[in-house]
Amino acid sequence: MFAPLEASALAEAIRRSVWAYPALESIHIASFGVMLGSVLVFELRLFGLAHAIQAVSLARLALGTSLAAFACAAASGLLLFVSAATEYAAHPAFRVKLVLILIAGANAIVFHARGGVRLQDGVAKLQAAASILLWLSVLAAGRLIAYL
């Protein structure tokens, strides 16, 4: 399933280019940084910091930013994945990272489905704390791909 992906002209072009791989990595890391930062800012507001800012307004800005950044991270990540698809697919840290992304995503969906931005109850705060921990774990798992 992954071998044809890795053998594709696109994958070959990414591998063989001097610049494509480091450029994609830069985009990937920058996007994830923006995402993590905007998620963190929103969650700090949820924990009661900067009361003067309306949570709903902040959510519009911060969550919009984090969604756009996630899309960039996912797109660049997909291209990096394709360049060595069979190896990444088999990599334990990569697999853990994907599972963590799914859990973090599910957590975010449940948060918004519950109306967590308006509720700001204990569950919402717990979810916010879990969110930050999950995304930091995604980051750690991602870094570990290069070291395992």
Minimal distance in Å, beta carbon 104 to another protein? 18
Both tokens of 31, joined, read 């996007």
The site string for another protein over 1-40 (x = CB under 8 A, - otherwise) reads -------------xxxxxxxxx--xx-x------------
Taking the C-alpha atoms of residue 112 and residue 72, their distance in angstroms, rounded to an integer, is: 22
Minimal distance in Å, beta carbon 79 to another protein? 11
Minimal distance in Å, beta carbon 95 to another protein? 12
The site string for another protein over 79-118 (x = CB under 8 A, - otherwise) reads -x--xx--xx-xx---------------------------
Taking the C-alpha atoms of residue 67 and residue 39, their distance in angstroms, rounded to an integer, is: 9
Choice between 56 and 146, CB closer to another protein:
146
AA identity, residue 57: S
Taking the C-alpha atoms of residue 47 and residue 44, their distance in angstroms, rounded to an integer, is: 5
Both tokens of 58, joined, read 């902040």
The DSSP secondary structure of 55-66, one letter per residue, reads HHHHHHHHHHHH
Closest CA to 94 of 112, 109, 81, 105: 81
Which one of residues 60, 112, 118, 143 is an interface residue with another protein (CB under 8 A)? 143
Provide the binding-site residues for another protein, judged by CB under 8 A: 14-22, 25-26, 28, 77, 80, 83-84, 87-88, 90-91, 142-143, 145-148
